[in-house]
Amino acid sequence: MSASDGFAGYGPLPDAYDELFAQPGQARAAFERVAALLSAESAADFEHRQALAEAILLQEGVTFSVYADQRGTEKILPFDVLPRMIAAAEWAALEVALKQRIRALELFLHDVYGAQHILNDGTVPRDLVLGAKHYLPQVQGVMPTGGVRVHIAGIDLIRDAAGVWRVLEDNLRTPSGVSYVLENRLVTKRVFARSFAEARVSRVDLYPTKLAEMLRSVAPEGVADPRCVVLTPGRFNSAYFEHSFLARTTGAPLVEASDLFVGDDDRVFVRTIRGPMPVDVIYRRIDEAFLDPEVFRKDSMLGVPGLMRAWAAGHVTLVNAPGNGVADDKAVYPFVPAMIRYYLGEEPLLAQVRTYRCDQAEDRAYVLDHLDELVVKAVDEAGGYGMLMGPQSTASERASFAEQIRQNPRRYIAQPRVELSTCPTWDREAGGFAPRRVDLRPYILSGRDGPWVLPGGLTRVALVPGSYVVNSSQGGGSKDTWVLKA
């Protein structure tokens, strides 16, 4: 393929794996046909399509919130018009690997809140798990209705300089972002109608149906026609757009805590104009700390008193199950390969990133001596917060983090900075494409019949030149992800 005006001058970063181009002007073999379709676009065409995409998102009100922004919290989701592509064979291998990982994490959670074999055997350190912020002793011994704890997972993947997929972190509590996957697809189907039709891209619009089927599948035994609801903290939550989107597309009512109550028989009801109606499945988008003021934060106005009693009694299913955060703790992450071997008797199919645990004296000494080379992360933070990008940090920032690590080493891990893969991304100021770093969050639904993986997932892109941070709250955006059919 020869580069068109739109791709003219585009060159991958010298030390990064570029997702689309093997070298300047030459698309990777799996994408040559689609790249040829896109190569007919001029720079002016791409600018027009980028502007059109942004107008559609504005019109549709596709937003997120940034609490720390004093200029106003409601933001239109930043979006880059050129999709990220994944070949069919590559995706098939990723799908198998993701299912393997989720099965092992599911078994780990059942074990930790059950017999604790893996802790008794010393395969995973007992103190590390039981001392984790998100380990909930209140959940010990409770078997969730439906037998599933990780109903919805978002596994963050990156690609290193050699093109190897690696897990960066697991999200097993209330992973967000899937609504943007569906909205991004609607946008690219409109702005690249011809190219999309000829590219033969795997569908993502089945997600709401699959989600609804999963929710119904994990209802308490004996419920013939389960009533499912989506529980939101309210319209001021950063992901409220997604809460309402998923409720609307699955047909599950969107409710707040004041709409629900737990009866004397430990059953959950929703208030309706026809009187109280039983609730069987709650897709909760509320953090555990606020879920039930009888058990967790007493001052919570977002939770439902008695909800944990109803869940422990097996009268309602909570999606995801409380307590999952112990498995996505960043200090537990290094042990996931051991979990796969322990529970499944298999070798891990997905690589990870070398991780230093600051609660270990040897690791901590190395981290403190190499802060300028490492990425330091707080194990209980997300969204790009609580993080030090060592190679881009100042001496004072490193000194501050060093003191925090010394004071609370269990709270921090460190990893080498991986040279993330890049995708051509529209640079309006330059009037052309520039390489920008990306990651990928696939979504996995698990019901009684096992896991299902949404083809593709959310590609997040660092829109700031030179940045490694892809989170929308930190200046990142997103792309549509095209998994090409064979």
Q: Residue 45 pLDDT more than 60? A: yes
Q: Residue 8 pLDDT more than 90? A: no
Per DSSP, the chain holds a count of helices (H) and strands (E) of 13, 25
pLDDT at position 3 is 42
pLDDT at position 282 is 98
**Same structural domain, 235 and 375:** no
In a domain, 391, yes or no: yes
**Same structural domain, 183 and 86:** yes
**Host domain of residue 396:** 356-416
Query: What's the total number of domains in the chain?
Result: 3
- What's the CATH number where 261 sits? 3.40.50.11290
**Same structural domain, 396 and 441:** no
- Could you give the maximum distance between any two Cα atoms of the chain, in Å? 71
Strand order, beta sheet including 412-416: 356-357, 412-416, 374-378, 387-389
Q: What mean pLDDT value characterizes the chain?
A: 93
**Same structural domain, 268 and 383:** no
Q: Residue 117 pLDDT more than 80? A: yes
In a domain, 300, yes or no: yes
- What's the CATH number where 402 sits? 3.30.1490.270
**Element containing residue 89 per DSSP (H, E):** helix 88-112
Cα distances from 67 to residues 76, 78, 147, in angstroms, run: 14, 16, 36
**Same structural domain, 362 and 427:** no
pLDDT at position 2 is 43
**Same structural domain, 425 and 384:** no
pLDDT at position 65 is 57
Cβ atoms within 10 Å of 137's Cβ, excluding its own: 9
- Mapped onto helix, strand or coil, the DSSP state of residue 75 is strand
**Same structural domain, 75 and 191:** yes
In a domain, 282, yes or no: yes
% of the chain with per-residue pLDDT over 90:
81
pLDDT at position 474 is 73
In a domain, 214, yes or no: no
In a domain, 289, yes or no: yes
